[in-house]
Amino acid sequence: MKVIVTKDYEAMSEAAFRLVKTVVTAKPNAVLGLATGTTPLGLYARMAEDHAACGTSYREIKTVNLDEYVGLGPESDQSYVYFMRKNLFEHLDLPLENTNIANGKAEDLEAECARYNALLATLQQDVQILGIGSNGHIAFNEPGTPFGAETHVVQLAESTIRDNARLFAREEDVPRSALTMGLKNIMHARRVIILANGQNKAKAVKGLVEGPVTESLPASVLQLHPDCTLIIDEAAASLL
Ligand code: F6R
């Protein structure tokens, strides 16, 4: 794993943007694997700015997102599909039909997981962007998830519900379950870029880089990926 330590959040976002721009420029029909959460917002803002300033085209790009809350759809401003449209897609020339996020409102969630999984098999990510949870989760693969897991329905860990409560009016409003790509789907990406900033990620980052490869810390599976770059600020790197 290549580790890049940057001074702060802005420098982390800039370093990630440079890598993503290289992929998009070299391969205009690339498949981008995308994450939600606070961490990639600086990256997405830079992609939007660059598109406006330099005209970098996303017309032929396809995207696949990591996860979605069960029960939420585009009309809900807490859904991940809403998040992606507002923070990235509507700022690019990316056709919405080229974007893919599991449907949290599907009547048959198992069938939706199977559909999304089959789609991922046809859309290998040229680059997969990841954040990391304070408990070491990636996407919503919580501690204990088998490394061989594919897209599945997951009950969120109490720590994840607490971490994500800041984005909801009340902790009770955080959905208790989600649809998520599995670790196998993430490992299938040609290249992985994982981002982390802030002291509250330092312990998970230490486990990711220096710990044993264990299902207790799902992100540690990335030690086995042939092309993984970790970009972190000094606070997230403080225990390394
Ligand atoms: C988001 C996702 C999550 C987040 C992680 C960190 O799609 O899959 O794994 O990347 O929970 O979230 P933030 O960036 O909000 O700290």
Distance from Cα 172 to the centre of ligand 1, integer Å: 19
Looking at residue 61, its pLDDT comes to 98
pTM for this prediction: 0.97
Which residue matches tokens 């649809």? 179
Beta bridge partners, 204, equal none
Question: Which atom of ligand 1 is nearest to 39's Cα?
Answer: 14
137 Cβ closer than 6 Å to some ligand 1 atom: yes
Model confidence over 155-196: pLDDT tens digits?
999 999 999 998 899 999 999 999 999 999 999 999 999 999
185 Cβ closer than 6 Å to some ligand 1 atom: no
> Which residue lies with its CA nearest to atom 12 of ligand 1?
37
Model confidence over 28-83: pLDDT tens digits?
999 999 999 999 999 999 999 999 999 999 999 999 999 999 999 999 999 999 99
Q: Which CATH architecture group holds 2-233?
A: 3-Layer(aba) Sandwich (3.40)
DSSP code at position 30: P
Q: What is the DSSP string of 51-62?
A: HHHH----TT-E
Of 134, 239, 139, give the one whose Cα is nearest residue 187. 139
